[in-house]
Structure 1
Amino acid sequence: MQIQTDSPTYTIPSGDHLISLRNRKRMDLTSVKEIERFDQEEFSVRTSQGQLQIKGEDLRIVHLDVDKGLLTLEGNVRSLNYDEDDKIGSKNLLHKLFG
């Protein structure tokens, strides 16, 4: 994957999680594993780095590539919040089962 900026082109290693936010109006995300729920005010997205809550107004999906894990949103972004408990909890459950 390549990202074009005003200057050089950056290559992002496969599997890296990256968020690009432009003027709080357009957001590009990589390493998206699942969109669990969404509406115009909130997106709940599972990424390689944990559960991500995106809150805002008039949020909508502009582009989604499930195979590559790419998501582009537009709208007025107010907040981003990672919940790592989800990631840790799943590891603990697996550890308890197979430990």
Structure 2
Amino acid sequence: MSIFIFLLIVLSIIMSMELIGMEKNEHSLKLENRSRLTVTGVTDTDKFNENSVLLYTCMGELTVKGKDLRVGLLSVETGDMVIEGEINAVIYGDSQVKGPLGFVGRLLK
């Protein structure tokens, strides 16, 4: 029984840490000359190719479309991402979707 309680405590701490981390993140976009996009508040990336980047921010899904796209910087710790190339569109998706399952979600899946 004590192992079960210990696991519950550990899981609740991890969930709290994930929620606190997401609440701290602010989200912003800075587009320079349609060739360099700086994004803050990135929580995860999903799909990437030279024509589109699908990522998740603390404000929901974000899709970047263009040509010859490449990731110049991605910092999971700070939530910063730089996308370079010919940027043609920046599209927000569902604001309720914050990203693929976090650590706890993957653990319980």
Q: 1:26 corresponds to which letter in structure 2? A: R
TM-score between the two structures when normalised by the length of structure 1 = 0.71
Asked if 1:61 is matched to 2:71, the reply is: yes
Q: How far apart are 1:16 and its partner, in Å?
A: 1.1
Quote the RMSD (CA, aligned, Å): 1.6
**Which ranges in structure 1 are unaligned for 5 or more consecutive residues?**
1-13, 89-99
CA offsets 1:49-72 (integer angstroms, 9 cap, x no match): 110010000000111111110100
Work out the CA distance in 2 between the residues paired with 1:34 and 1:87: 11
Which is helix-richer, 1 or 2?
2
* Distance in 2 (alpha carbons) for counterparts of 1:81 and 1:41: 13
Give the deviation of 1:86 after TM superposition.
4.9
As a proportion of its length, which structure holds more strand?
A: 1
Q: Segments of 4+ in structure 1 off by > 6 A?
A: none
1:41 aligns with 2:32: no
Gaps of 5+ in 2: 1-23, 99-109
- Aligned residues, how many? 75
